[in-house]
Amino acid sequence: MAKAEMIDPVVVLVRPQMGENIGAAARAMLNFGLDRMRIVDPRDGWPNPKANAMASGAGRVLDHAGIFADVAGAVADCDFVFATTARSRELVKEIVTPERAMAMAREMGAQGKKIGILFGPERAGLENADLIHANAIVTVPVNPEFFSLNLGQSVLLLAYEWGRQGSAVPDSVMGLARTEMASREEVQRLGDHYETRLEEAGFFFPPTKADGMRLNLRNMWSRLALTRAEVQTLHGMLRQILFRKGQAADPPNGNPPPGAEG
């Protein structure tokens, strides 16, 4: 049996009041791979030139947006509907975070189910008459003393969670800025260079602690995860100091043979 194709959620803007916010919502959607928008009874009619101006490069989301007279029509083909609201209501509904909501949406979307996400008008948000069409409520854990979110911000939060959970981007990556990590041999040679010069300067004192001091220095070099450029810079810094003090045979920009830096 063939695996069902992932179906992305549809974003439903209920009675939006400002074209700029509709455009901002479109940009937020496309930033994270969503392009299906439906608009219920927009206050200023449709199309809206202010929405297109704000959408910038995301105009194609608006070009294909569906216009509906009511919420029931906008979600009629949806198998599961989330409604976003920060206020408590007198309806019995499961309340989930954006993270959990989009995890559920991905699970259901992978099964070929159609998901809708309702966003209310800027001034008052969704009403109970809108919420009866939803299976679950999405509430963002914001400051309880100031829980009002702009429409575009609300869409961005949900769209980000959708995109993040479907991304293969690692949590952390080192930007190498046109260089590469130093090899273990290069780090070893850097340690040799500094250890030799520190020995000459009498750094490893008293003798009873010398071995531990050397060990700590070696551990420090390996822990730093140095790039080749950084290793070269550290060699150059030490050569410059010694050259200025008249202790180095080579000028600071010289090229000593491998294993004999400084």
Q: For residue 26, give the nearest of 74, 71, 60 by alpha carbon.
A: 60
pLDDT score for 257: 41
pLDDT given for residue 258 in this prediction:
44
d(CA 12, CA 189): 61
8-state DSSP, 34: -
Instruction: List domains and CATH numbers for the chain.
Output: 10-165 (3.40.1280.10), 174-262 (no CATH)
Task: Determine the 3-state secondary structure of 119 from DSSP.
Answer: strand
**pLDDT score for 260:** 43
Instruction: Give the C-alpha separation, 166 to 160, whole Å.
Output: 10
> Residue 6: what are its φ and ψ, rounded to 5°?
-60, 130
The pLDDT of residue 88 = 60
d(Cα 18, Cα 54) in Å, to the nearest integer? 11
End-to-end Cα distance, the chain: 68
The contacts of residue 42 (CB under 8 Å, 6+ apart) are 13, 15, 16, 22, 48, 67
Integer Cα distance of 217 and 237 in angstroms: 17
The pTM (predicted TM-score) of the whole model is 0.73
CB count within 10 Å of CB 234 equals 19
Contact 262/192 with Cβ under 8 angstroms?
Answer: no
Q: Where are the alpha helices (DSSP H) in the chain?
A: 19-31, 49-55, 59-63, 71-74, 98-110, 128-131, 151-165, 184-200, 207-223, 228-244
- Which pLDDT belongs to residue 1? 53
Number of H helices, E strands in the chain: 10, 7
Report how far residue 215's alpha carbon sits from residue 194's, in angstroms, rounded to the nearest whole number. Answer: 13
140, 154 in Cβ contact below 8 A?
Answer: yes
Q: Which pLDDT value is given to residue 177?
A: 78
**What pLDDT does 261 receive?**
46
C-alpha closest to that of 78 among 113, 26, 46, 119: 113
CA distance 142 to 259: 58
Q: pLDDT tens track of the chain, all 262 residues? A: 556 689 999 999 999 999 999 999 999 999 999 999 999 999 999 999 999 999 989 999 999 999 999 999 999 999 999 999 876 667 889 999 999 999 999 999 999 999 999 999 988 889 999 999 999 999 988 888 887 789 999 999 999 999 999 987 777 777 777 889 999 999 999 999 999 999 999 999 999 999 999 999 999 999 998 999 999 999 999 999 988 888 665 555 554 444 444 4
Cβ 180 vs Cβ 227: under 8 Å: yes
Nearest to 29 by CA among 4, 53, 3, 65: 65
Per the CB < 8 A criterion, the answer to whether 136 and 102 are in contact is: no
Hey, how many other C-beta atoms are within 10 angstroms of the C-beta on 90?
6
